Amino acid sequence: MNSFRFARAALRARPTMMRQPLQRRGYAEAVSDKIKLTLALPHQSIYKSLDVVQVNIPAESGEMGVLANHVPSIEQLKPGLVEIIEESGGSKQFFLSGGFAIVQPNSQLSINAVEGFPLEEFSSEAVRSQIAEAQKIAGGSGSEQDIAEAKIELEVLESLQAALK
């Protein structure tokens, strides 16, 4: 009998406990749904803390899209295409040679790379001729380092060729 009364008291207590976090929700609406993007190369910064909607990056652990309030993380980038969806709704594509993307806790994203150019500045003809050249070196009888470098070049060029299609 005593335990029954206790259970009823607990039932009555719960609704007030659940109401409290609901009231706090109003705060989230004040937070911006944009992410501040900084895209920097050693010689130039392409984006300088600009509000964008979404950034798709080719991380070594897989392709990922970064929106506002993303979990903080550090990702090594593969040579590949970075797609930026801007506030106006348009999107821009840059091919980066590889680097790091750092998602910071306060909706900031910093991308560092050695080289990065808009996709339209690449020549598919130059890519094709370099693939042939790199394949020759990779399959040749050069030093272990030369072959490894040719394989890196092939990785970059194949990614670039896929992006240009």
Q: Can you spell out the DSSP letters for 8-49?
A: HHHHHHHHHHHHHHHHGGGGGGGS-S-EEEEEEETTEEEEEE
Nearer to another protein, 2 or 143 (CB): 143
Window contacting another protein (CB under 8 A); options: 29-37, 49-57, 65-73, 139-147? 139-147
Within residues 75-134, the interface with another protein by CB under 8 A covers 79, 95, 97-99, 114-115, 117, 121-123, 126-127, 130, 134
Window contacting another protein (CB under 8 A); options: 19-27, 45-53, 63-71, 148-156? 148-156
- Closest approach, Cβ 106 to another protein, in A, equals 28
- Closest approach, Cβ 164 to another protein, in A, equals 9
Q: What is the DSSP letter of 87?
A: T
Which of residues 16, 24, 29, 144 is near another protein by CB under 8 A? 144
Q: What is the spatial distance between Cα 98 and Cα 75, in angstroms, rounded to a whole number?
A: 11
SS3 per-residue string spanning 39-62: EEECCEEEEEEEEEEEEEEEECCE
Token pair 């652990």 in the structure block, residue: 61
CB 132, CB 116: distance < 8 Å? no
Other Cβ atoms closer than 10 A to 59: 18
Residues that bind another protein (CB under 8 A): 43, 60, 79, 95, 97-99, 114-115, 117, 121-123, 126-127, 130, 134, 143-145, 147-149, 151-153, 155-157, 160
